[in-house]
Amino acid sequence: MTTWQAAAGIGYAYSWGDVRLDYRYLSFDRNGDKLIQGLDMGGLALGLNFVF
């Protein structure tokens, strides 16, 4: 079984909080006769952090 993930992102801080944009990729590979033998997922995530 092999599993790995990678993530990269960029962010910027303002006086009211932070904004961040990330990309994440996940891979799962399994040998044998299981129902799920391989799965690959990736996508963007947008995050906001407010300071008050």
Tens digits of residue pLDDT in 2-49: 999 999 999 999 999 999 999 999 999 988 777 878 899 999 999 999
Measure Cα distances from 50 to 13, 27, 41, 45 in Å. Answer: 10, 32, 29, 17
Give this prediction's pTM.
0.69
Q: Check residue 30 and give its pLDDT.
A: 86
Q: Check residue 5 and give its pLDDT.
A: 96
Residue ranges of the domains in the chain?
2-50
Question: Which residues on adjacent β-strands are paired with residue 10?
Answer: 21
Instruction: Compute the distance between CA of residue 4 and CA of residue 11 in angstroms, rounded to an integer.
Output: 24
Show the tokens assigned to 17: 């909080």
